[in-house]
């Protein structure tokens, strides 16, 4: 059996590579590992609205309760909400059933440890080992876990911190988002593309509660339309809607709302790099940017490096994947990180990327400064970037081949400080991704093509 866990949980074609049997096994093994030493442990379970989530939720719930863990079912909520509630209710784990920005036929299982933190590789390996060993002794009788709706948890003796009401978990998450905004957004009009996803209700509610005028689009999930031509991977609809309504900006979420991209009043895209630059400068001015440091991945544009250097902010880079950003944030106790794709993490307010929170904080900067998004985003000038995917037979060997490394060194010599080169094996396919950035687009294309040919010839 190959490794089950990818860069963000277990993911696959629902009822095919990711069927109820696997969902039951994964959740049961996770419960066994993460609930050890705890009596009447609790798991928070949520999902996005795709149809297969109903089937997988039943299997996950069976796996957890079969391992003796109580399940607090919170229904359709964003991934960051499940992470937040896992910490809020002192649960030993949280499970989010979602394939994020993937098309509807796919689904996934994301697992959070106590506190709402993503699992590290070692814990994932232990879970996989338990799955490989097969079913172990299971509790019977009163030892079997109970399935609790959020409103009835106390009736089953579930212990919840006294300062919080277990009633209305959705409302509590919205309250958390508004508290984290830090500014009255009255006077700002925003188009919010919910991708027919998990934030279709709580996203517009949070923005309105913070004072903004909200035009919600693609906020009518039917189980089949999630991410279908909309959301953060398809920005045409939100761009048109912003211009048509004369809105101040647009925000586009993905299916589980852990990422957010923006567009300005003219419909011009403001990507994750620009969002991070805006927030980093705002937090530095407010004394909230720990060690004056931003954490991003190696895929962030050279323009972000330049903008942060000019602003007196250190940019630390990690491997691709928000889990690696999260690990670096925790290790260095930094307060802002993210990815070009729109994952933005604010550890002071959440343990994972939160698209709605990102949008709220971006709008708070607009409200506080009185500046439009176009003006704020001008701090970053994107350097032309060319990305070529090269299919190979052995991605690991190709990436370290002497002739490939020499070609990379030669390209870097030609670019000097005006660009950079990155070769990265794909995490899921036999591909090597060749990325070249240069102030001269023609030069970037030529170097990328030359490197791609070299990679393909190995």
Q: Per-10-residue mean pLDDT for the chain, 458 residues long?
A: 81 97 97 86 96 98 96 95 95 97 96 94 94 86 86 53 60 95 96 98 98 98 98 97 98 97 98 98 98 95 95 95 90 97 95 97 98 98 93 88 94 91 82 93 95 93
Q: Which are the contacts of 40, defined by CB distance < 8 A and separation ≥ 6?
A: 70, 157, 159
Q: Is 273 annotated as a binding residue?
A: no
CA 45 to chain CA centroid, nearest Å: 17
Cα separation of 288 and 282, whole Å? 8
Q: Is 236 annotated as a binding residue?
A: no
What per-residue confidence (pLDDT) applies to 154?
53
Where do the DSSP E strands lie in 354-454?
A: 385-391, 419-425, 431-438
Task: Quote the crossing angle between the two packed helices 169-181 and 355-369, to the nearest 10°.
Answer: 30
Burial category of 170 from C-beta neighbours within 10 Å (exposed 0-12, middle 13-18, buried 19 and up): middle
385-457 folds as TATA-Binding Protein (3.30.310)
Cα separation of 299 and 118, whole Å? 21
Cα separation of 285 and 343, whole Å? 22
Cα separation of 88 and 160, whole Å? 9
Cα separation of 245 and 69, whole Å? 49
Q: Which of 27, 35, 100, 341 is catalytic?
A: 100
What per-residue confidence (pLDDT) applies to 159?
53
What per-residue confidence (pLDDT) applies to 320?
84
What per-residue confidence (pLDDT) applies to 164?
44
- Long-range CB pairs of 392-397 (<8 Å, 24+ gap) are 392/430, 392/431, 392/432, 392/455, 392/456, 392/458, 393/430, 394/430, 395/425, 395/426, 395/430, 395/431, 395/432, 396/425, 397/458
Q: Write down the domain spans for the chain.
A: 10-164, 172-377, 385-457
With tokens 């979420």, the residue in question is: 253
Kindly state which CATH superfamily the domain 10-164 is placed in: Alpha-D-Glucose-1,6-Bisphosphate, subunit A, domain 3 (3.40.120.10)
Phi, psi dihedral angles at 210 (to 5 degrees): -80, -5
Judge if 172-377 and 385-457 fold alike in CATH terms.
no
Cα separation of 231 and 236, whole Å? 9
Q: What is the model's pTM?
A: 0.91
Q: Is 254 annotated as a binding residue?
A: yes
Which three-class secondary structure state does DSSP give residue 76?
Answer: strand
Pick from 212, 254, 230: which is nearest to 353 by CA?
A: 254
100 is catalytic: yes
**Other CB atoms within 10 Å distance of the CB of residue 10:** 24
Task: Tell which phi-psi region holds residue 413, choosing left (phi > 0), alpha (psi between -120 and 50) or beta.
Answer: alpha
Architecture of the domain delimited by 172-377: 3-Layer(aba) Sandwich (3.40)
What per-residue confidence (pLDDT) applies to 165?
47
Q: Is 100 annotated as a binding residue?
A: yes
What is the enclosing helix (H) or strand (E) of 397? helix 395-399
What per-residue confidence (pLDDT) applies to 285?
97
Q: Which are the contacts of 162, defined by CB distance < 8 A and separation ≥ 6?
A: none
Cα separation of 436 and 383, whole Å? 10
């Amino acid at each position: 059996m190959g490794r089950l866990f990818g860069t963000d949980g277990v993911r696959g074609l629902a009822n095919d590579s990711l069927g109820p049997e696997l969902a039951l096994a994964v959740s049961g093994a996770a419960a066994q590992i993460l609930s050890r030493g705890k009596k009447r442990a609790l798991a928070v379970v949520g999902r996005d609205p795709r149809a297969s989530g109903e089937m997988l939720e039943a299997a996950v719930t069976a796996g957890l309760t079969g391992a003796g863990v109580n399940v607090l079912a919170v229904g359709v909520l964003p991934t960051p909400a499940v992470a937040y509630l896992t910490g809020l209710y002192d649960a030993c784990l949280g499970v989010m059933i979602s394939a994020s920005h993937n098309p509807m036929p796919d689904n996934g299982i994301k697992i959070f440890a106590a506190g709402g933190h993503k699992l590290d590789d070692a814990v994932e390996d232990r879970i996989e080992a338990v799955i490989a060993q097969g079913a172990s002794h299971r509790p019977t009788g009163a030892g079997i876990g109970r399935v609790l709706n959020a409103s009835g948890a106390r009736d089953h003796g579930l212990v919840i911190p006294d300062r919080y009401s277990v009633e209305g978990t959705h409302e509590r998450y919205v309250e958390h988002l508004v508290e984290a905004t830090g500014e009255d957004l009255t006077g700002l009009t925003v188009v919010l593309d919910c991708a027919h996803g998990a934030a279709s209700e709580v996203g517009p509610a949070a923005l309105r509660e913070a004072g903004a005028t909200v035009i919600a689009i693609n906020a009518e999930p039917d189980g089949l339309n999630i991410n279908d031509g909309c959301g953060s991977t398809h920005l045409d609809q939100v761009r048109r809607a912003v211009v048509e309504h004369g809105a101040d900006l647009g925000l586009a979420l993905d299916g589980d709302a852990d990422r957010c991209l923006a567009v300005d009043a003219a419909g011009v895209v403001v990507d994750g790099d620009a969002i991070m630059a805006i927030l980093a400068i705002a937090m530095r001015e407010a004394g909230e940017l720990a060690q004056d440091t931003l954490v991003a991945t190696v895929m962030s544009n050279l323009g972000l490096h330049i903008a942060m250097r000019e602003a007196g902010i250190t940019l630390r880079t990690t491997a691709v994947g928000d889990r690696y950003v999260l690990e670096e944030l925790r290790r260095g106790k930094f307060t802002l990180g993210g990815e070009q794709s729109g994952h933005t993490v604010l550890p002071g307010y959440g343990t994972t990327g939160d698209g709605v929170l990102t949008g709220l904080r971006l709008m708070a900067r607009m409200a506080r400064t009185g500046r439009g998004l176009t003006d704020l985003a001008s701090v970053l000038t994107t350097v032309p970037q060319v990305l070529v995917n090269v299919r190979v037979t052995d991605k690991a060997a190709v990436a370290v081949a002497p002739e490939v490394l020499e070609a990379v060194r030669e390209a870097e010599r030609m670019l000097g400080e005006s660009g950079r080169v990155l070769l990265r094996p794909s995490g899921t396919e036999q591909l090597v991704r060749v990325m070249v950035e240069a102030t001269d687009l023609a030069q970037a294309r030529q170097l990328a093509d030359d490197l791609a040919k070299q990679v393909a010839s190995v």
